[in-house]
Structure 1
Amino acid sequence: MVRGFVTANGMEKKRTSDEFEPGPIPPSQPVDRFGFIKQEQNSPDGITKSRPANEHEREERRIRKWRKMIGVGGSDWKHYVRRKPHVVKRRIRKGIPDCLRGLVWQLISGSRDLLLMNPGVYEQLVIYETSASELDIIRDISRTFPSHVFFQQRHGPGQRSLYNVLKAYSVYDRDVGYVQGMGFLAGLLLLYMSEEDAFWLLVALLKGAVHAPMEGLYLAGLPLVQQYLFQFEQLVKEHLPKLGQHFSEEMISPSMYASQWFITVFSYSFPFSLALRIWDVFLYEGVKVVFKVGLALLRFCHDGLIKLPFEKLIHALRNFPEDAMNPDTLLPLAFSIKVSKRLEELKQEYEKRNVASLQQTGSANRQQLAIKDKEFSIRPETSNCVPKDDSSR
């Protein structure tokens, strides 16, 4: 679903006339059902198939069920979730109807409540505040979904909306600011909702309105990325021991292939149809689905991966075959993998290791300081910082 939005009112009060001058409109090209320019006719997202009448009718019935479940503008959502949580979970795992996806994402993420509690805040951030990250954001905008028609035009409506959301967040949360990779989150959201809605959903994700906050993925040192990669490596060894052993022998670590899975929640280099289905579940169930999908990908390709040497293994882990990325095949496999309890145990183990490491580092630093202090007391004349004895004055 492609939607276009202009910049917030008054945005150009703070810009010179040529800084955001739109570039030429790209030539018209055939696009897939999501708005991406078709690269290959054989691409699963690139083929527009005529659906059988019975499939169309089934989709219409599904939409009617969802409309009844959420109510007008989402008015019945919370009540339905409380009464029938298992029904909601099952329907979300089957995929949210595309025409309702934007609204449902706001409902399940808690972002709608944030927006209602903060009227006018987004406009204030966009129009009147300045960010130290503005040049970095401008530089990276053209790298976000470059093959999507909404973001193609230089400084066009899509790129302006993306700039506004990222700039507003960098002001809202100056500890995080802006980090490359956040653009794919914001860009994905902008395809299904307005700037303001996308901004508050980004806030809900990073600040943890419903699930654990994601901001640690983007803080200095990427602390949450390091934790997730540690957890994922242990899960691979436990769920796929032969492949885990092969990875160890070939010196393959998750940081070589899985970092962007967590940083962009599969929105960077995976088929868009799969990314959307993952996001449906991710917003409702949390980050555990990223671990599940990652393990499912490795399990699906297990027999091929285990035979590959280092160079070919790295390439395969960054370029999964099309049949492995079919959501109707991959996601049921992912949902069958249980990780919740083990993730919590591994989180605690990681935190203990970090504390022990910090204590060792602190102890080593204290020993070094003690040695330096001892040397300092033995040879004080070597330092210009030692005060002279004033007793003779």
Structure 2
Amino acid sequence: MIFELTTTDSESKARAGVITTGHGVIETPIFMPVGTVGSVKALTQEQVKQDVQAQIILGNTYHLYLRPGTEILSKAGGLHKFNGWDRPILTDSGGYQVFSLAANRKIKEEGCLFQSHIDGSRHLFTPENVMDIQRTIGADIIMAFDECPPYPSEYRYAKKSMELTHRWLDRCIARLKETQPAYGYEQTLFPIVQGSTFKDLRTISATEIAARECAGNAIGGLSVGEPEADMYEMCGLVCDILPKEKPRYLMGVGTPWNIVENIALGVDMFDCVMPTRNGRNGMLFTWNGVINIKNKKWADDFSPIDENSPCFASSQYSKAYLRHLFVAGEILGMTLASIHNLAFYLELVKEARKQILTGNYAQWKNRMVPQLKQRL
């Protein structure tokens, strides 16, 4: 993987760059649609490419390990061939999913013992076998195995968790050095900065992660319930420590205004289930604010979902029609809402990149944030 930093905004820390992987180029800042089990929910790969114009999608190690399993993925030749996606893929290590199984997992030095949410079967994730699983999945960018502490966390727990994450990282790095990519192209490891909302822990973790000199770095453990102000403070602190010449990925974030604010702090990559999950429940993100399409006020509004969007789902279908689909329980409603939201997120980061390249990002951000937050 190669990262070229193109431009940094003059009045903020926003950056524009280019990541080159074995499956193509990614222009940053970028939003990555979440395809947890090898599928962006309710959409075909063609829709994700052509209508959403996604440059990279995510898969999840925990879910893909359980279904379809590494044997099937190996026989298929990796996830790219299994699901027909020929652009870059990033895989989360499963640390966050294990964190969300709080009642059904046990964390120890060796790794994490957990029960499947599908059938209750017991499994052990270690830094070593999580690297092996991600080798088999075949993602271009793979994440180190970490523990994501809950919010709020006691200081002692957050510190212990962070130190465990650092020890696990060294084992991940060692395992990758012992193994080779399964399908003939490079797989790049991103370590994950932890430390909850404690400034000293985040400083320690970011310094430790930077010292490992990996090709890119991630920031985890945010957008897990903490106030937005705390997220921005922690993210800004970490971005000031992580090396400028390497991409920075803020995991699981977030709303459109979260993304715009964190770009200004120096983040290059984002992912979140919000555009698809909220879309399937009738919440639409637009350039003018947030819409609950199920509200009766849209029943006779025949204007486009978002007339400012080039996406067909946004510009060719009316609010009234989309509301009708949701009220009638039609699957097409969820598909169109998901396409619209994802296309909007990709348009948002594309416009952010344009503003960075022209040197106007800070002014644009300050104008856009209150607009994006409006409830319509």
Greater helix fraction, Structure 1 or Structure 2: 1
- Greater relative contact order, per chain length (Cα 8 Å cut-off, separation 6+): 2
What TM-score bracket applies, with the shorter chain setting the length? under 0.3
| Length-normalised TM-score, structure 2 | 0.26
| Length-normalised TM-score, structure 1 | 0.25
